[in-house]
Amino acid sequence: MTRYALRAFGSPVRLPVVPIPVNITLYVRGNGATNEARGDVTKDHFSPVFVGDVGNPLCMRVLHADRSIVSVLGAPIAMEMRSVANPEIIKPCTGPWKANPADDGSAFYQYQPGDVDTAGLWELWIKILLNGEPVHADNGLGKPKVLTILPLPTGA
């Protein structure tokens, strides 16, 4: 998206496009170190969100076990959210995924109202179709990342 700023005098000035910072790192199994040897040393900033918060997208980066970038450019991505408290409750996330054209392994998901309408802990089950094969992105230890959805504060 192109952004513009207005000068006090003169014509608008075109500002550089600033990419949304990635706030979650996920891994796919394959290259490099074993899950046990690797661990997850990244600090995630995707959780918590409040009920109904569709203003901030989920911004993920996908890496191999050796921390090399997984290209998700053009790869179909799907996500389901499963309740930690009641695993029988599964929400298919139907919003759009957009891969970063810079091909740095990052993609962005715009939450939909139905994704974030219920407070609680939700596992993010993310599937990426790479070279015709489905792969699941996880926390690097074989488990999904967990999103905390907080209830709105009283009076909000």
Q: Within 13 Å and on the Cβ side, how many CA atoms surround 103?
A: 4
Task: State the pTM of this model.
Answer: 0.74
Question: Of residues 80 and 49, which shows the higher confidence score?
Answer: 80
Q: How does pLDDT run across 105-114, given as a tens digit for each residue? A: 899 999 999 9
**Top-ranked range on mean pLDDT: pick from 14-23, 65-74, 92-101:** 92-101
What domains are there in the chain, each with its CATH number?
20-150 (2.60.40.3350)
The average pLDDT across 30-57 equals: 65
- What are 71's two structure tokens? 């290209």
The predicted pLDDT at position 37 comes to 39
C-alpha dist (Å) from residue 42 to 58, 62, 73, 75, 104: 16, 12, 22, 24, 16
Percent of all residues in the chain with a pLDDT value above 90, rounded to a whole number = 39
Q: Please, what is the average pLDDT of the chain?
A: 79
The average pLDDT across 51-75 equals: 88
The predicted pLDDT at position 151 comes to 92
C-alpha dist (Å) from residue 153 to 49, 106, 119, 148: 12, 32, 12, 15
